[in-house]
Amino acid sequence: MKSTIALTAVAALAAKASAACWSESLGYPCCSSPNANVEYTDADGKWGVENGNWCGIPVPEACWSEKLGYPCCSSSSAKVEYTDADGKWGVENGNWCGIQTTPGTPSPVPTPDIEVKPGEQYTHSGNPFSGVEFFLNPYYVAEVDAAIEQMTNSSLKAKAEKMKTYSNAIWLDTIKNMHQWLETNLKGALQQQEFTGSKVLTVFVVYDLPGRDCHALASNGELLANDSDAQRYKTEYIDVIEEKLKYYKSQPVVLIVEPDSLANLVTNLDSTPACRDSEKYYLDGHAYLIQKLGVLPHVAMYLDIGHAFWLGWDDNREKAGKVYSKVISSGKPGKVRGFTDNVANYTPWEDPTLSRGPETEWNPCPDEKRYLQELMHKDFKAAGIESVYFVCDTSRNGHKVDRKHPGEWCNQTGVGVGARPQASPVSGMDYLDAFYWIKPLGESDGTSDTSAARYDGYCGHDTAMKPAPEAGQWFQKHFEQGLENANPPL
């Protein structure tokens, strides 16, 4: 009986309508649980935040399941057979019953041992970030929980709690991590999608090219720039990603492709031997992954274009148009939706204090908005690129950092988390698909230990926060400063 109930739970309860909520009359949806975190209280009621939007927290009723056509269980300690967005469900006398909870009970989450199989093929239409829920990265939630345990300031703890309600990207930065995180999170997003009835978008960063980050030391990858590792990249990494994505076909996915790689081909071939050695593997790797992953209708891909103080100058933009056009053409019939900028960087979205002049080394686009709005969109269109849309990483650019030159990138002091993940965030910029948190705030850019094998001089600059751990490891002090300087405030 238990097995039958578990296996048929999704089908049996998928048709239940969510309870109406007082906030709907005010133009806001209900939160998914009456036990959601209270972020604000006014005369209307208690408010929470889900997927970056305000929601009204439903008032618990004596028996919440009755309005859904089911009685409440006779005991609040009844065995939980199934959990969905409405609450926890038990079985009495062969019938479903709602288990009453007390205030402070954690919000219900999908039950991991209930197997959910993908449904019909999903196909992106227009902006991949619109009309979907954003999947919450469980690994990052756990990192923030651990960070909160180290805090004593109640205000800072409250800000950190809010960080857990926003989505960020899941980095597949080694073959091992790809195996650990890709299917696990696709499955979690699928469960959430089935339980809520809404499409759930998961964002992954594909990041393991041979000779990765050829111009940096802190984030060098596991694969070397040689034929053997290039083959491993294809068969052990991209092919596995393709296999899993093909299986999980009923849910939307966005891939952020190989940050920094193509931008390095635009600017660093002449100055950096490692980039010259990596060039053919970067080009071949992109062609392969676009051909493999760019044909999947539920997958939207964005190639990385660095940031305003990397490719913003006139000659760099002109060269970039040619490089990116060539790469996209090499991947046919695969398609690329657009491009990501400011990944893991600190350049503000807008900085009206800066203009083209000596202070910016005559860069005509000293912030990300001008970089996209006035320049890259026009230049890429002129280069013959058909689909030119952007996702800007706002995870760490809310506050103007203390760097002495806008090209500095390692653990910058003055950091502040920026605009929340949101689709179509700027009126009049229909080619800006989203603000999104691609680089998780709190994860280090690189170590400040000068004796470390992966030490990069940028991590020792005056404006780089020290002491800092290895790239990707948790950096508590940097995280806390990012919360304090958040703009908009948390």
314 carries an active-site annotation? no
The correct CATH number of 64-96 out of 3.30.70, 1.10.10, 3.90.1220, 3.40.50 is 3.90.1220
Four-point Cα dihedral 42, 46, 50, 55, nearest 10: -70
User: How many other CB atoms sit within 10 Å of the CB of residue 425?
Assistant: 19
Which one is catalytic: 86, 367, 379, 445?
Answer: 445
> Using one digit for the tens of pLDDT, what is the confidence trace for 397-419?
999 998 888 788 999 999 999 99
Do residues 411 and 478 make contact, with C-beta atoms less than 8 angstroms apart? yes
277 carries an active-site annotation? no
Which one is catalytic: 213, 260, 304, 351?
Answer: 260
Instruction: Please provide the CATH number assigned to the domain covering 24-56.
Output: 3.90.1220.10
Do residues 189 and 251 make contact, with C-beta atoms less than 8 angstroms apart? yes
Rounded distance between C-alpha atoms, residue 305 and residue 410, angstroms: 18
Rounded distance between C-alpha atoms, residue 60 and residue 46, angstroms: 12
Per-residue tokens: 289 = 């992954």
Instruction: Please provide the CATH number assigned to the domain covering 133-485.
Output: 3.20.20.40
Instruction: Report residue 8: phi and psi, to 5°.
Output: -105, 5
pTM of the model: 0.78
Tens-digit pLDDT profile for the chain (490 aa)? 222 222 233 333 332 323 346 777 777 788 877 777 777 777 777 877 877 677 788 765 557 777 777 788 877 777 777 767 677 777 777 777 888 764 333 334 444 455 789 999 999 999 999 999 999 999 999 999 999 999 999 999 999 999 999 999 999 999 999 999 999 999 999 998 988 889 999 999 999 999 998 988 766 789 999 999 999 999 999 999 999 999 999 999 999 999 999 999 999 999 999 999 999 999 999 999 999 999 999 999 999 999 999 999 999 999 999 999 999 999 999 999 999 999 999 999 999 888 887 778 888 888 999 999 877 888 999 999 999 999 999 999 999 998 888 788 999 999 999 999 999 999 999 999 999 999 999 999 999 999 998 899 999 999 999 999 999 999 999 999 999 999 999 9
Rounded distance between C-alpha atoms, residue 139 and residue 147, angstroms: 13
- Please compute, for residue 475, the number of CA atoms within 13 A of its CA located in the half-sphere on the CB side: 28
Which residues, listed in sequence order, are joined to residue 95 by a DSSP beta bridge?
Answer: 92
Which residue numbers belong to the known binding site for substrate?
171, 173, 307, 310, 345, 409, 439, 443
Q: For CATH 3.90.1220.10, list the domain ranges present in the chain.
A: 24-56
